[in-house]
Amino acid sequence: MTEKPVMAGKPDGLFSPFILNGLEIPNRIAMAPMTRSHSPGGVPGQDVAAYYKRRVAGGCGLIITEGTTVDHEVASNDPKVPQFHGRDALEGWRGVVEGVHEAGGLIMPQLWHVGIMRRQEQAVNPEYQSAAPSGLFKPGKRVADPMSDAEISKVIDAFARGAAEARKLGFDGVEIHGAHGYLIDQFFWEGTNERDDVYGGDAVGRTRFAAGIVSAIRREVGDDYPLILRFSQWKQQDFAAKLAPSPESLEAFLAPLSAAGVDMFHCSTRRFWEPEFDGSSLNLAGWTKKLSGKPTMTVGSVGLDNEFVAGYRGEGAQATGLDTLLERFEQGEFDMVAVGRAILVDAEWPNKIRNERFDELRNFTTEALATLS
């Protein structure tokens, strides 16, 4: 029999409100963005709205949607991934926003461009070459031509238009996907960015594309609209990759992004409890908050004992207590917590944590995914 998780600490702090650029979020738990591919033709339907509404009813303080692609010919890798442009898709998202708000929740879209991770022959618009700063899938593997300055400007404009549409539709803010080896992260990473112009060079130069997106969004939505940037050290192409191998390099990386107008950094790790640098127990979110002075959101196997890559090997994960998370939160290491797989298989996860119904927490298994709704 599997031993049920227990917690010595009280989870009350996770259920205190947090204000992000004027937006009052009722608690510190966000639903992490997780790709579903349940939007045929790129249009989210009523089932998508119902999916998010269930997580609001389950106690999530903030919904961050699955990645939704911006208006660029090669932004998407999958015709069933929702897009954030075009009349039908935007009307679909209007229904999602209205549903979440009717349930009393808050929601932000995660604006996304997959870049060179796109499988050209299987993707939307297969006649177009995929986009990448230097045409590199990973170090030494060139599969496309480098993006031109004109193409870079088009993508920056596409993100800005997407954010403007989000505000018009009534979303409560936006998140930019700058992690996991996708397009923005391909500019961040020296392994895929060999440009010698203003968008390349050192770590600061490699932030210029993302900073340009943030600045363009700010011009469209104003200063009073919450803007989150998700970033990661690791890449799908290389789990051991490091954008910033030291606190000093991380500080240099964060500075231009903060100055451009990021309100919160969503710091993606595979295991939130792992220290980011030697000599300190701080994780990536902790270091980011310390060095940037900005609020941060942590993520990475929260509530589970096995990280997500194990799922690709058919391995499940057992539900766990949150004492380590609570200790770090109470020490001020981060301000919010994004929860992925635990909420994916259990829409009631936040309510169960809040009410200390630990014996009801669900494990992440193939069987649990089969009953997902």
**How far, in Å, CA of 99 to CA of 189, rounded?**
38
**How far, in Å, CA of 36 to CA of 39, rounded?**
8
Q: Which two tokens stand for residue 125?
A: 């618009």
344, HSE (Cβ side, Cα atoms, 13 Å): 25
State the pLDDT confidence band at 244, using cuts at 50, 70 and 90. very high
Is the pLDDT at 170 greater than 70? The verdict is yes
At 314 the pLDDT is: 55
* pLDDT tens track for 77-97: 999 999 999 999 999 999 999
Q: Which residue has the higher pLDDT, 308 or 224?
A: 224
Grouping H, G, I as helix, E, B as strand and the rest as coil, residue 179 is strand
Q: Which residue has the higher pLDDT, 4 or 218?
A: 218
CB 100 within 8 A of CB 106: yes
Contacts of 355 (CB under 8 A, 6+ apart): none
Q: Which two tokens stand for residue 248?
A: 């000093």
CB 227 within 8 A of CB 176: yes
Q: Which of 138, 140, 119 is nearest to 128 (CA)?
A: 119
Q: Which residue has the higher pLDDT, 4 or 290?
A: 290
Contacts of 370 (CB under 8 A, 6+ apart): none
At 168 the pLDDT is: 98
* pLDDT tens track for 331-356: 999 999 999 999 998 999 999 999 99
Q: Average the pLDDT over each of 62-71, 112-121, 145-154 and give the range with the smallest value.
A: 112-121
User: In the 3-class helix/strand/coil scheme, how is 324-373 assigned residue by residue?
Assistant: HHHHHHHCCCCCEEEECHHHHHCCCHHHHHHCCCHHHCCCECHHHHHCCC
Q: Which residues pair with 63 in a beta bridge?
A: 31, 107
Q: Average the pLDDT over each of 40-54, 238-252, 297-311 and give the range with the smallest value.
A: 297-311
At 325 the pLDDT is: 95
Q: Average the pLDDT over each of 11-20, 50-59, 113-122 and give the range with the smallest value.
A: 113-122
At 1 the pLDDT is: 34
Q: Which residue has the higher pLDDT, 312 or 362?
A: 362
Is the pLDDT at 306 greater than 60? The verdict is yes
Burial class (CB in 10 A: 0-12, 13-18, 19+), 188: buried
* pLDDT tens track for 260-289: 999 999 999 999 999 999 999 999 999 999
Grouping H, G, I as helix, E, B as strand and the rest as coil, residue 180 is strand
Is the pLDDT at 313 greater than 60? The verdict is no
DSSP 115-157: GGGS-GGGSSSTTSPPP-SSSEEETTEE-SPPPPHHHHHHHHH
At 312 the pLDDT is: 44
Q: Phi and psi at residue 46, in whole multiples of 5°?
A: -65, -30
At 363 the pLDDT is: 80
At 4 the pLDDT is: 57
CA 245 to chain centroid: 21
At 373 the pLDDT is: 61
Q: Which of 168, 49, 169, 182 is nearest to 115 (CA)?
A: 182
Contacts of 241 (CB under 8 A, 6+ apart): 189, 191, 233, 234, 235
CB 227 within 8 A of CB 174: yes
What residue has token string 């200063």? 223
The catalytic site residues sit at 182
Is the pLDDT at 2 greater than 50? The verdict is no
DSSP 214-238: HHHHHHHH-TTS-EEEEEEEEETTB
* pLDDT tens track for 3-32: 556 667 789 999 999 999 999 999 999 999
